[in-house]
Amino acid sequence: MNNHHPPLTRRTLLTGLTATVIAYNTTTRTWATTNTPTTGRLSPVPTLDGTLTTNPATTATHAHDFGRLTTNTPHAVLNPGSTQDIVKIINYARRNGLKVAMNGQAGTGNDLESHSNYGQAGAAGGISINARALNKIHTITPTTATVDAGTTWAELTEATLTHGLTPPCLTDYLHLTIGGTLSIGGIGNTVQKYGLQTDTVESLDIITGTGHHLTATPTHNTRLFHAALGGAGQAGLITRATLKLIPAPQRALVFTLHYTDLTTYMKDQETILNDGRFHTQVGEIHPQPPGTPTTYTIETATYYNTTPPNPTPLLQGLTPQQTTTTDTTYREYTFRANTFADNLKNLGYWNQPKPWLSLLLPATTTHQFIQETLTTLTPDDIGQGLLLFYPFHTNKITHPLTITPNEPTAYLFDLLTFPHPGTNPQPALTRNRNLYNRATQLGAKRYLVGAIPHMTTTDWQHHYGPQWTTLTTNKKTYDPTHTLTPGQNIFQ
Ligand SMILES: Cc1cc2nc3c(=O)[nH]c(=O)nc-3n(C[C@H](O)[C@H](O)[C@H](O)COP(=O)(O)OP(=O)(O)OC[C@H]3O[C@@H](n4cnc5c(N)ncnc54)[C@H](O)[C@@H]3O)c2cc1C
């Protein structure tokens, strides 16, 4: 601590709109600038390779996330110039009782905000770190890629495809940061074969809440490795990851199977899951207006290089009402959500409030939950969005904090609503809470994405079950001052 402004000749570290910000005033709990009278105790900002700014135009871009349901304006935004900047800022925040969160500002244009849904990346009154400032792809070998955590899956995939390689697990939408999805799980159409993105990590560089910069692997700093993967940013901030790569196929033969009967649909979904006949599987439920039966689809793909596979054995034993087939390149297939996103942006839906709900349902109660839910869910609830629904084996998901239902098979229920512009999101938030309550009665868990209001400590204890002790012990070890990632709202 220091009661004087540092000499004005020092490097400009913190840039405000009208004056250079040089310190945090721990008495008034405001930032001190070169124009601020020196009253109270000042804690000077450390020398940084990047910049820390309190410019309202910048802090405003970190106040909201993709969900557009919350406002958590940070005091300052760090654009790190190095990982050492993150170490310094975490230590600085710890000393001054400030909160810090990484914000995966993936994307460009309309995509200038964290892809969280309900303030999970928020750092209200604290320091938000722009993850995208560190986005270098360091190495690509035949089996691994080492990347900065602010790299997006789109950037990594573009780069690996030029080597004939691909990450085995990709989210449907690729413009998400690697650090962001590794902090929550990262689910996509190959979960049935490879688990979550967290299950494909070989090594992480992490800066803990105590300001230590450590490398963690399955055999070195093992506890921290598991604390970070799916760890909701509670133990440390991931700065670098080494991820598995596999050979990329050239093409994808994609089958869309259509159903109107839930039981038949789920039976075919589980047949495909259990015999592993396709490389990928996702599914969608399409609620209809009252009086019209709900429709369901399975989308599966078989990858190949030169000769398309014979569809007959692939479809044997399945009983859809209709099947459509598309043949496309692997690249087009992996980037397929770009077109969906562009349409929503053009139609004015992208920046509206989007109260998403992501649940993992145990297979034995899934049918009941879906039947009950479909009695109330209308096409307007979905708007221009979708309801993803597909099964996976829970034993593919290996890290203790990526919580799944306690059954061998679970279903992703992902209500990705894009309500019509002008829709009041409050009723949908109440719906989410009610559906969460009912789903948990039936043994479900939430996926850390989505908007579920009023999560209490009891809810979180119930969510984590036996892993609650792991989570709280990790917090005590790696972030005892509760500096990191307050927006997850787990430690209240
Ligand atoms: C259009 C769209 C499509 C999506 N599709 C999928 C999908 O197919 N599958 C899927 O699993 N998810 C999907 N998501 C959800 C997505 O995984 C989450 O939004 C996730 O939060 C990643 O977004 P982000 O990179 O912006 O990270 P953020 O939302 O900024 O971060 C997520 C959380 O992790 C913390 N965090 C971020 N980076 C780090 C880091 N390096 N170290 C420690 N903590 C960190 C943040 O503070 C926050 O708490 C989708 C989201 C959108 C908007």
184 touches ligand 1 (CB under 6 Å): yes
Confidence of residue 139 (pLDDT cuts 50, 70, 90): very high
Measured from the Cα of 65, ligand 1's closest atom is 29
Q: How sure is the predictor about 5, in pLDDT bands with cuts at 50, 70 and 90? A: very low
State mean pLDDT over 303-308.
Answer: 97
When pLDDT is averaged across residues 145-153 and rounded to a whole number, the result is 98
| Percent share of the chain, pLDDT over 90 | 87
Does the C-beta of 131 come closer than 6 Å to ligand 1? yes
CA 3 – CA 436 distance, rounded (Å): 51
pLDDT of residue 24 exceeding 60:
yes
Phi and psi angles of residue 110, each rounded to the nearest 5 degrees, phi first: -70, -5
Per-residue pLDDT band at 9 (split at 50, 70, 90): very low
**Helix 363-374 vs helix 262-275: crossing angle, to nearest 10:** 150
Task: Check residue 7 and give its pLDDT.
Answer: 34
Q: How many CB atoms lie within 10 A of CB 99?
A: 22
Is 135 a residue whose pLDDT tops 90? yes
> Among 367, 357, 323, 372, which Cα is nearest to 430's?
357
CATH for the 137-247 domain, from 3.30.465.10, 3.40.50.9100, 1.10.3720.10, 3.10.129.10: 3.30.465.10
Task: Please choose from 62, 72, 114 the residue to mutate so as to test ligand 1's pocket, defined by most ligand atoms within 8 A of CB.
Answer: 114
Q: pLDDT: is 21 or 419 the higher one?
A: 419
The phi, psi pair for 215, rounded to 5°, reads -100, 135
Q: Are 318 and 299 in contact (CB under 8 A)?
A: no
**C-alpha span between 394 and 411 (Å, rounded):** 9
Residue with tokens 């990594």: 156
**Which residues is 44 bridged to in the sheet?**
23
Q: How far is the CA of 375 from the centre of ligand 1 (A)?
A: 31
**Conformational region of residue 372, where left means phi above 0, alpha means psi within -120 to 50, and beta covers everything else:** alpha
The pTM is what? 0.95
Please determine, for residue 37, whether its predicted confidence score (pLDDT) is greater than 70.
no
Of the given ranges (110-114, 155-159, 209-213, 354-358), which has the lowest mean pLDDT?
Answer: 110-114
* Cβ count near 56 (within 10 Å): 12
Q: What is the residue extent of each domain of the chain?
A: 14-133, 137-247, 251-464
Tell me the C-alpha distance between 323 and 325, whole Å.
Answer: 7
Mean predicted confidence (pLDDT) in 266-294: 96
Give the model's pLDDT for residue 31.
81
Mean per-residue pLDDT, 286-305: 96
Residue with CA closest to ligand 1 atom 1 = 173
Q: Is the pLDDT of residue 2 over 60?
A: no
Element counts in the chain: helices (H) and strands (E) = 15, 23
pLDDT at residue 112, as a whole number:
63
Q: Please determine, for residue 17, whether its predicted confidence score (pLDDT) is greater than 70.
A: no
* Residue 121 in contact with ligand 1 by CB distance below 6 A: yes
Task: Please determine, for residue 3, whether its predicted confidence score (pLDDT) is greater than 50.
Answer: no
Q: Whose CA is nearest to atom 12 of ligand 1?
A: 186
What are 63-110's pLDDT values in tens digits?
999 999 999 999 999 999 999 999 999 999 999 999 999 999 755 555
Confidence band (pLDDT; 50, 70, 90) for 27?
A: confident
Lowest mean pLDDT among 54-68, 140-154, 180-194, 242-256: 54-68
Q: Name the residue type at position 181.
A: T
Mean pLDDT taken over the chain: 93
CA pseudo-torsion sign 255, 261, 266, 267: negative
Q: Taking residues 337-362, what's their average pLDDT?
A: 96
In single-letter form, the type of residue at position 229 comes to L
Q: How confident is the model at residue 38 (pLDDT cuts 50, 70, 90)?
A: low
pLDDT (mean) for 301-313: 97
Higher pLDDT, 211 or 57: 211
Instruction: Tell me how long the chain is.
Output: 492
Q: Could you read off the pLDDT of 464-490 as tens digits, one per residue? A: 999 999 999 999 999 999 999 999 999
CATH match for 14-133 among 3.40.47.10, 3.40.50.2300, 3.40.50.970, 3.30.43.10: 3.30.43.10
Please tell me the distance from the alpha carbon of residue 104 to that of residue 120, in angstroms, as a whole number. Answer: 11
- Is 202 in contact with 144 (CB distance < 8 Å)? yes
Which CATH architecture fits 251-464? 3-Layer(aba) Sandwich (3.40)
- Residue 151 Cβ inside 6 Å of ligand 1? The answer reads no
| Substitution candidate for ligand 1 out of 120, 136, 176, 226 with most atoms within 8 A of CB | 176
Query: Residue 451: CB within 6 Å of ligand 1?
Result: no
Region of 489 on the Ramachandran plot (φ > 0 left; ψ -120 to 50 alpha; else beta): left
CA distance 135 to 451: 28
Structure tokens at 230: 């799916």
Bridge partners, residue 42, by sequence: 2, 25
> Does the CB atom of residue 294 touch ligand 1 within 6 A?
no
**Is the minimum distance from the CB of 173 to ligand 1 under 6 angstroms?**
yes
Q: Which two tokens stand for residue 72?
A: 């958590």
Q: Are 216 and 132 in contact (CB under 8 A)?
A: no
Q: Is the CB of 485 under 6 A from ligand 1?
A: yes
Alpha-carbon gap, residue 151 to 137, rounded angstroms:
7
Count of CB atoms situated within 10 Å of the CB of 306: 6
